[in-house]
Structure 1
Amino acid sequence: MSNFAHADGQTVVYRTYKTRFIGLFAIVLLNISTGFVWLTYSSALNAAKAYLNTKEMVVNLTTILYFIAFLIMSPVSGWMFEKKGIKYSLLFGAIIQVIGAAIRYIATFVASSPTNPGPRLALTLVGQVIASGAQPFFLNAPPKFAAVWFSEDGRTTATMIGSVANALAAALAQLIIPVITVETDPDTMATSVLLCLVLSVVAVVPVLFTPALPPTPPSPSAAAALEDNVEEPFWISLKKVGSNRQFIILMTLFGTFVGFFNAFSSLITMFTKPFGYTAEESGYFGAAMVVAGLVGAGISGPLMDRTKQFKSVVKTMVPLSTIAYIVFCFVVRKDFFIGIMIVSIFIGFFSFTMLPVVLELGVECTYPVTPASSTSLLWGSGQFFAVIFLFVLQALQNDDKAVETGVNAPLIFIAAICVIASFPVYFFKSPYLRLEAEGRARSNHGHVMVDSKRSLSGDEYGMDEVSLEDIKDVKGAKAV
């Protein structure tokens, strides 16, 4: 849809293009593929231990490597988004992932035994490290892509679709990989590794057909973003975001809950195993969280596009998520599959409902700084906390004590930290800076103006199409 405004013979037009869905599909597919690569081994813990001839801690390291690599590569991805654009950044990440997935598959042809596990294990870890470097390029992309390609009436939904794809992959991986990987036959691990390689290769294709930029911007903030990102170095934007007190509150909140969810998804098998649940059953718990989360995010995205009540949703969902984690401590026991499933559904629904909302809120409270800066710091905080939580939760795990007391210590730790982390959300009071700027720009009709004879619309309206360079040459194209 286009937005028209007329002032003294000049025309202001903002419109969206159908090709934006190609890029969104590419981001979704890339996030799904990286989710499978991420959880390949931890989703089939016993088979992976036998396949790699190693301990459970080393198998969990394949997950931890993803979080560590994210912290290292996230700033790089943000810099590339600003310097090379979304398309070429996604393509770079996709190629890295294919290389890493290919190395992991090559490792399946290397012999491994309890006395000589080194070569296969080394190749697997090298491939995992390379592939994990691609994840920030995919996770950080949705808010940036939505800001450039979607109007204010569709940005949160687009962010939601792109962001939850990774979690969808986590659910699918926890369901599919345990099925195709037989615990009594570790060689079947090769099938899962091959599946991940195929997904990684397929995910490259839609990126090739993704346009680099929209011919014309969909909103005033998009027009300003397309210009300002070229002028302001990414590192300066990152510094501005990091010194924003309201954003720090948001980052701490996001980091804690995303970190716990990532650690929770990675270690769900470890938490439930002492009480007699199999890896396949644990996969159902993880899948229940994600499926319910997709429903929650599917509701919150379009709802926020209509109401813009970002802060209200976050301040409601945070305490509800905390309560769900507390209840989970007491439902994880023997022969209570239904109870665990129900609480897993609530955890997923409450957590995912606020995921796209917080990502968009991060952009709103730091505008006009580029979305890549806020997004990379938000996801980076989630991965940073995930690394810490993974080590702490594994250290706290004691199967014998859990069975004896009926309560698992790591779950108590999660609930306690969630209670502490939930309080700062009530101090978050930032205005919606981007929405306010767009409102002023539209009312003033002065954001992007060209001669009325050269409309900024597309050829489907029978008008001439103007490139981004044309827009940059127009005076007064800055955000108000």
Structure 2
Amino acid sequence: MYRKLGIAIGFLVPPVLVPNVGDMDELAHHISVMFYITAGAATLIFILVLIMFQEKPDIPPSQAQVVMQNMAPQESSYRASVGRLLHNTPFVLLLITYGLNVGCFYAVSTLLNRMLINHYPGEEVNVGRIGLTIVIAGMVGSLICGIWLDKTKTYKQTTVAVYLLSFVGMVGYTFTLNLGHLWAVFITSAALGFFMTGYLPLGFEFAVELTYPESEGTSSGLLNCSAQVFGIIFTICQGKIIDYYGTLAGNIFLSVFLLLGTILTGMKNSSL
């Protein structure tokens, strides 16, 4: 939740700190101020981590950690845990589908300014607000999806539904982007953020259920690694597609992979 809040601030603050000016020296000054603020905040967080964080909690945070502590050292090592997870077929399928979904989100977030400015020149501040809308809607989606999953335990059904709605949200965003109405983009962006970001906690919870008693940290780390790899690939590919064919083709490219992810999610084993 706090990470998403940081992303929201990242969408909102830079367009305010770095206005669209023609003077390169003034622009460089604004950018340097923003970087100094970022460096100061990161340094403060680093110092707080050194002072406040302990090496490990006094009480194991989960049943999985209790089991891992009672295992032989060679069995509880990180390498052994990763090896077992990569032989877990349902988890590998989740690893791919999670990477597809979150990778698409990273690509949309990274190229948001570029896509919107193509259709709405001079609207840099509103681009930041749209990015903020995506993240705030995603925070609400994460909260609601997490509560729903905790109450119902319907892991496969919920992940398939949210994945499908992420695809629908991406299609809606794709075909409203060039209509010339910013309010429509705000609405479709909110829907996209609600379902696409709402999928994040579902992926982590599903991974824990599929991989118990493996450490949640290992499965979560692999999911994040998958998301970063797909995010880099999608961002580069969509950027090239936008260069040659426009934003519509770039967003259709992502929509195809979200549809593929929806189909693969439906193939997961739901017997937990």
Q: Taking structure 1 as the reference length, what is the TM-score of the superposition?
A: 0.52
Partner of 1:182: 19
> CA contact under 8 A between 1:246 and 1:430: conserved in structure 2?
no
- Once residues 325 and 303 of structure 1 are traced to their aligned partners in structure 2, the CA distance between those partners, rounded to angstroms, is 23
Q: Deviations over 1:146-183 (max 9, x none)?
A: xxxxxxxxxxxxxxx3xxx3332222111101101133
Partner of 1:310: 155
Is 1:221 matched with 2:64? yes
> CA contact under 8 A between 1:310 and 1:358: conserved in structure 2?
no
Is 1:171 matched with 2:15? no
Partner of 2:33: 191
- Once residues 273 and 292 of structure 1 are traced to their aligned partners in structure 2, the CA distance between those partners, rounded to angstroms, is 22
3-state DSSP class of the match of 2:53? Answer: coil
Which shows bigger deviation, 204-213 or 254-263?
204-213
Partner of 2:53: 210
> CA contact under 8 A between 1:364 and 1:431: conserved in structure 2?
no
> CA contact under 8 A between 2:17 and 2:34: conserved in structure 1?
yes
Provide closer, same or farther for how the CA distance between residues 216 and 389 of structure 1 changes in structure 2, counting only shifts above 3 A: closer
3-state DSSP class of the match of 1:428? Answer: coil
Cα RMSD after superposing both structures: 2.0
Number of residue-to-residue matches in the alignment? 264
Mapping for residues 209-358 of structure 1, pairs under 5 Å: 209-217=52-60, 219-228=62-71, 230-231=73-74, 232-277=76-121, 278-358=123-203
> CA contact under 8 A between 2:20 and 2:124: conserved in structure 1?
no
- Once residues 68 and 47 of structure 2 are traced to their aligned partners in structure 1, the CA distance between those partners, rounded to angstroms, is 27
What is the CA distance between 1:320 and its match in structure 2?
0.6
Provide closer, same or farther for how the CA distance between residues 408 and 340 of structure 1 changes in structure 2, counting only shifts above 3 A: same
3-state DSSP class of the match of 2:213? Answer: coil
Is 1:417 matched with 2:233? no
What is the percent sequence identity of the aligned residues? 23
**Higher RCO by CA contacts (8 Å cutoff, separation 6 or greater):** 2
- Once residues 239 and 258 of structure 2 are traced to their aligned partners in structure 1, the CA distance between those partners, rounded to angstroms, is 18
- Once residues 233 and 217 of structure 1 are traced to their aligned partners in structure 2, the CA distance between those partners, rounded to angstroms, is 17
3-state DSSP class of the match of 2:178? Answer: coil
What is the CA distance between 1:334 and its match in structure 2?
5.0
- Once residues 206 and 106 of structure 2 are traced to their aligned partners in structure 1, the CA distance between those partners, rounded to angstroms, is 21
> CA contact under 8 A between 1:271 and 1:408: conserved in structure 2?
no
- Once residues 190 and 73 of structure 2 are traced to their aligned partners in structure 1, the CA distance between those partners, rounded to angstroms, is 43
- Which amino acid counterpart does residue 274 of structure 1 have in structure 2? N
- Which amino acid counterpart does residue 260 of structure 1 have in structure 2? C
Gaps of 5+ in 1: 1-160, 433-480
Q: Taking structure 2 as the reference length, what is the TM-score of the superposition?
A: 0.89
From 263, 267, 272, the equivalent of 1:427 is: 267
> CA contact under 8 A between 1:301 and 1:357: conserved in structure 2?
yes
- Which amino acid counterpart does residue 273 of structure 1 have in structure 2? I
- Once residues 172 and 97 of structure 2 are traced to their aligned partners in structure 1, the CA distance between those partners, rounded to angstroms, is 20
Provide closer, same or farther for how the CA distance between residues 206 and 311 of structure 1 changes in structure 2, counting only shifts above 3 A: farther
What is the CA distance between 1:291 and its match in structure 2?
0.4
Provide closer, same or farther for how the CA distance between residues 229 and 316 of structure 1 changes in structure 2, counting only shifts above 3 A: farther
- Which amino acid counterpart does residue 255 of structure 1 have in structure 2? G
> CA contact under 8 A between 2:8 and 2:135: conserved in structure 1?
yes
Provide closer, same or farther for how the CA distance between residues 292 and 428 of structure 1 changes in structure 2, counting only shifts above 3 A: same
What is the CA distance between 1:188 and its match in structure 2?
0.8
Q: Deviations over 1:425-474 (max 9, x none)?
A: 11111544xxxxxxxxxxxxxxxxxxxxxxxxxxxxxxxxxxxxxxxxxx
From 43, 46, 66, the equivalent of 1:201 is: 43
3-state DSSP class of the match of 2:227? Answer: helix
